[in-house]
Chain A
Amino acid sequence: MQSSMSRRSLEEMATRRDRSGSLWLVQAFSGLLLVLILGAHMIAHHFIVEGGLRDYQQVLDYVANPFVFIIEIVFVITATAHALLGARAIVLDLRPSAATMRVVNWVLVAVGAVAIGYGLWLAVALQRAAGA
């Protein structure tokens, strides 16, 4: 009984490590994707625009382009996922208890869902305003 429980807990630990490894890979690949998207975002929004920021009409003209619209949505999702996975890693560094970490995980998922939902809603609203 003892040895079967030990074996099971070892298997659980291995599974958890696999999942942490998967989350690390998501963090790494989302980071590399962000290098491209954020780089393009900063150049498009701040460095090639006269005055450094688009005015209202320029923003609408920009998001009216379907390609830009899709890139901006991918950007919101990738940046939010990367940021919240990073926040989770920081919390893990503070040596929380397993119970605290469960709560933190749910809070981060909720914050991520709200942020991504809001970002998508905003992008759609702006595209509608651009078409109006």
Chain B
Amino acid sequence: MDNIQPTTDPVRPKAPLRSWFDVRGRSLSTLAFALNRLTAIGLTIYLFLHLAVLSLLLRGPEGWDQFVALAKNPAFLLLDVVLLFGVVYHMANGIRVALVGMGVAHTRQKSLFYVLVGIALVAFVVGAVLIFVE
């Protein structure tokens, strides 16, 4: 419980939350970091919503199958596409952050970012098409 980091680090911005949304003159790594944080917040909210929605299964086929019918609505599918973007981006950038943090390819982190996010974007486009086609 007492593993609290010092909060007086001079390199941290004075208004960190506002700085996430201020894209002026930012480097690629800062933008990648900010987007990682935003997708993290979205995915955390989604995780708890998802757990709550799964409780519908306890109401039997009536409760769950009604929800499944609702989830096939185009507006819902659009939200799935947004979710998919959050997942694939957070995954790709998270792999980069973990590798670089462990000292792997830290001199080539920009290239690593382009490769991983490129793969993520391909997966996103394929997934988004499948969501609407299926």
Which of B4, B43, B68 sits near A98, CB closer than 8 Å?
B4
> CB-defined interface of B91-134 with A at 8 Å, one 1/0 digit per residue?
10011011001100000000000000000000000010011001
Please report the total number of B residues contacting A with Cβ < 8 Å. Answer: 42
Establish whether residues B1 and A59, one from each chain, have CB atoms under 8 Å apart when the complex forms. no
Contacts of B131 in A (CB 8 A): 46, 52
Interface residues of chain A: helix, strand, loop or mixed (majority): helix
Label chain B's interface by main secondary structure.
helix
Taking a contact as CB atoms under 8 Å apart, the answer to whether A83 and B43 are in contact is yes
A92 near B44 (CB under 8 angstroms)?
no
Query: Out of A52, A59, A118, which one reaches B134, CB within 8 Å?
Result: A52
- CA A31 to CA B57, docked complex, whole Å: 28
Tally of contact residues, A, Cβ under 8 A: 53
Tell me if A90 and B37 are in contact (CB < 8 A): yes
Residues of B that sit less than 8 Å from A by CB: 1-7, 12, 16-17, 37, 40-41, 43-44, 47-48, 51, 54-55, 57-58, 60-61, 64-65, 68, 71-72, 80, 87, 91, 94-95, 97-98, 101-102, 127, 130-131, 134
Question: Could you give 12 example pairs across A and B, Cβ below 8 Å?
Answer: A15-B3, A28-B98, A28-B101, A31-B94, A46-B80, A47-B130, A55-B65, A79-B47, A80-B47, A93-B37, A105-B1, A122-B55
